[in-house]
Each structure stands twice: as C-alpha cells, then as structure tokens.
Amino acid sequence: MFKHVLPPVVIGGYRLLGRSWRYKTQNEEILDTLVRERRQIVGAFLHARTFPLLYYFSRPDRGRWILMCSQSRDGELMTRLEEGLGFRVARGSSGRGGARALVEMIKAQREDRELNSCLAIDGSRGPRGIAQMGVITMAQKTGGLILPVAASTPDSWVWQKSWDRTVIPKSRATIHIRIGEPLEAPAKLDSAGLEALRLRMQETLVTMHRELDEQSGFRDSEPLQVVRA
C-alpha cells in the first residue's frame, strides 16, 4: 500500500514545488537551437544538482529525454518521479546494472533520433565532481553532442549526509541555469584523447558551477574543486 501511495504524493509535491520556482537561464539559445534542429544531445550535469534540473527539462519545449536511475529502493521512488514528469528511464547505476542501462539508453537514442539523454558525470556514487566515462561513451556511440548544464540557487537546503551534497531548492526559489558550449566526442579516440576529453568535461562543469554559485549567492562549506591533470 505504502509503495503505491507514496509516489503520487511525491510527484504531486514536486510539481507543486517546481511550479513555484523561477528560472533565470544563461545561453538558453544553445539548447533551443539544438532541439529545434533535432541535434541529438547527451546532457552532462553534476549529480548534486538533479532536483532543480528535472523540472527545467520536463517542459515539452525542452525536447524528450531518457535518464538513468539506480536500482536501489530510493531509485525506485526517483524513477516514478521522473516517469511522472514525462521522462523515459533506464534502471542502473555505477554500482549495479549501469552497463546494461547504458546500452539501453544508447539503443533508445539510435532508434529514436529525436530522443536525448542525460547523465550525471560523477555517476550515482561519486566521487563528487569527478567525471566518469558514461557521458563520453553515450556521445561516441550515438553521435550526440555533450551539453554541459549547471544549476545553482541560494534558496536551498544542502543534504550534507549525501555523498554528493544534494542541493534541494526551497519553495519560490530563484534557480540559475547555465547552458555550456557543446563538446564533440569523436567515435575514435585513443586513451590519451579520452582522458583529455574527460578532464575537459569535468573542468568545464565544475568551473561553470563555481562561477554560477558565486553569481547566484549559493554557499557550501565544502565547495567543489577543479581537478587538473
């Protein structure tokens, strides 16, 4: 009974919360152009900023998206939320079923050229802010462009016990979104080229968040750090 009652309550509560948010977006024309031209996108973001981004990308004019969500108990609730917002979801994570979910997402994008995907660069378990290879693999296998996306709001709680220090916007929060310049992921890259692209993507997203956090007024006692080779 509980598992049937809770998801509709969570979805309704999130929608109500999301409708109260005000978005201020930088470089939104980049996303608009890619969606309008039907260029396939592999969205790249930090796991901690999932909550403000879900509502932003759930709007119909943002295109259609497939996401990855863990197979954990918490992941089940998150999956119901994401599906309730109109997203397609593949179940898996870096700890369990991630490879299978990634293959499912790649297959889905290949079969539907208007479907976009989104992955947290630091996966479902971290380390926080450290890019893994999932986004790059998706882009290489589908021909999609990697699109860095950052979100920040000072009107939020930070879940300090979570590995990623999850940011949860408060009611009526002003959420700042920044769309980055797309990155290409050539299908054929040697190990040095892959590592260079991974570091570039990681530094791009961490830098975007540091700048956006400073601009928005968001503060965290454990800020993200740029890791350079």
Domain ranges of the chain: 2-216
Alpha helices for the chain (secondary structure H):
2-20, 28-36, 50-57, 73-84, 98-111, 134-142, 191-216
Residue 71: the pLDDT is 75
Give me 183's structure tokens: 């990155």
The distance between the two most distant Cα atoms of the chain, rounded to a whole number of Å, is: 52
The CATH class, in words, for 2-216 is alpha beta
Q: pLDDT tens digit string along 98-156?
A: 788 999 999 999 999 999 999 999 998 889 999 999 999 999 999 999 999 999 999 99
pLDDT score of 1 = 42
pTM above 0.75, yes or no: yes
Question: Positive or negative, the Cα torsion across 189, 178, 117, 31?
Answer: negative
Give the relative orientation of helices 98-111 and 134-142 as an angle to the nearest 10 degrees.
30
CA distance 197 to 115: 24
Residues with pLDDT less than 70, the chain: 1-6, 73-74, 93-97, 226-229
For β-strands 115-120 and 41-45, DSSP reports them as parallel
d(CA 148, CA 131): 12
Query: Tell me, what DSSP letter sits at residue 185?
Result: -
Amino acid at site 82: E
Using CA atoms, how far residue 45 sits from 6, 7, 117, 211, 215, in Å, is: 27, 25, 11, 15, 18
Q: Which residue has the tokens 């980049």?
A: 30
